[in-house]
A and B are shown apart, each in its own frame.
Chain A
Amino acid sequence: MTSVTPDHMSFPRRLGDGIRAIARIPVIGPLLARLPHLIVVLLLVSFCTFMLVHISSGSPAAAILGPSATPEAVAQINRELGLDRPLLDQYLHWMGNAVQGDFGNALVAPYGTVTSRIQIALPVTLQLAAMALLIAFLVAVPTAVYAGYRPGGKVDRILNATSIGSLAVPAFVLALVLALLLTLQVHLFPRTGWVAFTTDPLRSIRSAFLPALTLAMPMIAYFSRVLRAEIVQTLQEDFVLFARLRGLPIRVILFRYVLRPSCVSLVTISGVTLGSLLGGTVIVESIFALPGMGHLLLNAVVNSDYPLVQGGVLLTAVAYVVINALVDLSYSLIDPRMRNA
Chain B
Amino acid sequence: MPRTTAESVTGTAGAHAAGAGTAGAGSAGAAGATASPARTRRTRTRQRWLGLAIVAAGLALLFLAVLPAAHLPAWARWLIAFAGLFAWFRGTDKAAKAHFGPRFQTGLWMAAIWTGFIVLLAVIAPMLPLQGPTHLPMDTPSWISANLFGDYILGTDGNGRDVLSRVINGSRVSLILGVGSAAIGVVLGMTIGVLAAHYGGLLDAIIRVVTDSLLSFPPLVLLLALVAVLKPTFSTLFLAFSFFVVPSMVRLSRGTAARLAAREHVLAAKALGARGPRIMVRELLPGVARVLLPFSGIIVAVLIIAAASLSFLGLGVPPPAPTWGGMISDAQDVLQQHPQGVLIPSIVLFITVVAFNRLGEGARAATDTRESVLG
A290 vs B348: C-alpha distance when bound (angstroms): 28
B19 close to A282 (CB less than 8 A): no
Question: Would you call B13 an interface residue if the criterion is a C-beta within 8 Å of the partner chain's C-beta atoms?
Answer: yes
B213 close to A280 (CB less than 8 A): no
Q: Which residue of B lies closest to A228 (CB)?
A: B12
Question: Would you call B258 an interface residue if the criterion is a C-beta within 8 Å of the partner chain's C-beta atoms?
Answer: yes
A309 close to B228 (CB less than 8 A): yes
Q: Shortest CB–CB separation between residue B335 and chain A, in angstroms?
A: 6
- Given the complex, which residues of A lie within 8 Å of B268, measured CB to CB? none
Give me 20 other A-B pairs in contact (C-beta within 8 A), A5-B255, A168-B353 excluded. Answer: A4-B251, A10-B205, A45-B216, A48-B213, A152-B16, A157-B19, A164-B357, A165-B354, A167-B357, A170-B308, A176-B346, A177-B346, A276-B221, A280-B220, A280-B221, A283-B312, A297-B224, A309-B225, A313-B217, A316-B217
Question: Would you call A262 an interface residue if the criterion is a C-beta within 8 Å of the partner chain's C-beta atoms?
Answer: no
Size bracket, chain B contacts: 35 or more
A180 close to B335 (CB less than 8 A): yes
Q: Which of A141-195 contact B (CB under 8 A)?
A: 151-152, 156-157, 160, 164-165, 167-173, 176-177, 179-180, 184
Question: Would you call B209 an interface residue if the criterion is a C-beta within 8 Å of the partner chain's C-beta atoms?
Answer: yes
Write out, one digit per residue, whether chain B residues 4-37 have a CB within 8 A of any chain A CB (1) or not (0).
0000000111011001100100000000000000
Q: Which of B304-351 contact A (CB under 8 A)?
A: 305, 308-309, 312-315, 325, 328-329, 332, 335-336, 339, 342, 346, 349-350
B313 close to A282 (CB less than 8 A): yes
A81 vs B214: C-alpha distance when bound (angstroms): 27
Question: Would you call A1 an interface residue if the criterion is a C-beta within 8 Å of the partner chain's C-beta atoms?
Answer: yes
Q: Which residues of B contact A (CB under 8 A)?
A: 11-13, 15-16, 19-20, 23, 200-201, 204-205, 208-210, 212-214, 216-221, 224-225, 227-231, 251-252, 254-255, 258-259, 301, 305, 308-309, 312-315, 325, 328-329, 332, 335-336, 339, 342, 346, 349-350, 353-354, 357-358
B209 close to A44 (CB less than 8 A): yes
Q: Which residues of A contact B (CB under 8 A)?
A: 1-5, 10-11, 37, 40-41, 44-45, 48-49, 52-53, 55-58, 151-152, 156-157, 160, 164-165, 167-173, 176-177, 179-180, 184, 225, 228-229, 232, 275-280, 282-283, 286-287, 297-298, 300-302, 304, 309, 312-313, 316-318, 320-321, 324
- Given the complex, which residues of A lie within 8 Å of B200, measured CB to CB? 10
B349 close to A301 (CB less than 8 A): no
